Structure 1
């Protein structure tokens, strides 16, 4: 019967448990781990239990590749030393900080949203406005080229460009904007928004002069992260 004690684990993976218990001084090492073994087994014993505790501990320790040692003295108590091998974990690798999980703000930015689907345009506009952005919406690439050319330099901070659109697609519109003879035409971030999510689709967007490629359905946090990545 265990009456109390304490445990310590050192750097080598050795767990030492010391405490007082009712013990049998003769042949204890063999006796204590036997199932149902108790020092006092008569009906008048005040000690309760089934005598299974130490045999269960021994079985579990051995299953983990360890060993248990017992040192006992009648009237003084018993000391149990359990040794279990542990693997030392490798030092954690430094984590590179990324945009993931970082909160950015687009409050105050003026975004040109180019999207031919009215529902998609309305949803995206509402999400962006809710984050504090000013949003101008046009519905095809030709309108995007015209509104960009008709406004003074610095009017728009970012262009969010759909790819598959009537009249003029997003790739052609991006090329025309990049070809304009004005400084902001060369530097304004143009982010593709498209259902075409293959690697070759992203490569075509980059060749056309776009800065990033986002696959639909769009997630507002990914849009905001892409905006900040290209504005830095």
Structure 2
């Protein structure tokens, strides 16, 4: 790993950035054979706005590479080069879909250069606000590291979209959570009913789902005979952050409400309130 950082203190979305780097490195390892080389680098350059910089992360390998045609689709969910199957390399390719979405959430861009038999280089550019040492110290004092840890928390994630579920699961696992997924409200209610008491500490509930939406699932859970299950904390996930959406969630019996796409700096404190 090479590093030349003219701006040692920046504001960055660490969980999202960590997930991006993990996926890129895992992808490089998967498609680079024994004896191959993987190089990771991080640099910074002045940003477009005053007080901002661009943090540039590169992951380069000399693995099997990709065709020009496939590079046009590499960031689409579940895409994988046909030659990878021939090479006995397993994997769905969903990691690159996650990378594209997470980079977009951070306002950045991701590019790839690749050639069959030569290797691939992924470049991620993330705009970051420059911070001072005093700001960082003040933030550490406000947010001490001994805050309630989420490690060991088991969450029932109810989300019908595969990519959104994959991203949420990865980010929650980074915080030490164990995540089980239900694909709709009916499956969520069924999993909670069948689980032993105390299996789940909290439910993250998407509200717009087929079969049974999050509001109806919550109402059904609140009417369960078992008081421990009926009172499990439920946090709504919606595409909007309007106050009326939060009120609808509360009226349905949910404890709280967060907007999608998930922002871990909002979700983690919200989860801590109920654990």
How many residues end up aligned between the 2 structures? 135
1:102 Cα deviation (Å)? 8.2
Pairing 1:194–2:233 present: no
Partner SS state of residue 147, structure 1: helix
Q: Distance in 1 between matches of 2:146 and 2:164?
A: 26
Q: Distance in 1 between matches of 2:206 and 2:220?
A: 15
- Report the equivalent of 1:206: 250
User: Which residue of the other structure, out of 215, 220, 225, is the alignment partner of 2:259?
Assistant: 215
- Report the equivalent of 1:78: none
Query: In terms of Rg, which structure is larger?
Result: 1
Pairing 1:144–2:151 present: no
TM-score when normalising by structure 2: 0.46
1:188 Cα deviation (Å)? 1.1
Alignment of 1:89-104 (within 5 A): 103-104=147-148
**Cα deviation 1:147-184 (Å, max 9, x = unaligned):** 00011111100000000000000000000001000021
Partner SS state of residue 246, structure 2: helix
Distance 1:226 1:138, change over 3 A: same
Distance 1:151 1:117, change over 3 A: same
Q: Distance in 2 between matches of 1:115 and 1:101?
A: 30
User: Which residue of the other structure, out of 194, 198, 220, is the alignment partner of 1:154?
Assistant: 198
Distance 1:204 1:129, change over 3 A: same
**Contact 1:104/1:224, CA 8 A, preserved across alignment:** no
Gaps of 5+ in 2: 1-141
User: Which residue of the other structure, out of 167, 170, 191, is the alignment partner of 1:123?
Assistant: 167
Alignment of 1:1-232 (within 5 A): 103-231=147-275
**Contact 1:189/1:227, CA 8 A, preserved across alignment:** no
Q: Distance in 1 between matches of 2:177 and 2:163?
A: 19
**Contact 1:116/1:140, CA 8 A, preserved across alignment:** yes
**Cα deviation 1:33-67 (Å, max 9, x = unaligned):** xxxxxxxxxxxxxxxxxxxxxxxxxxxxxxxxxxx
Gaps of 5+ in 1: 1-97
**Contact 1:179/1:185, CA 8 A, preserved across alignment:** no
- Higher percent of residues as helix: 2
Q: Distance in 2 between matches of 1:222 and 1:201?
A: 17
1:207 Cα deviation (Å)? 0.8
* Root-mean-square deviation over aligned CA pairs: 2.1
Q: Distance in 2 between matches of 1:165 and 1:156?
A: 21
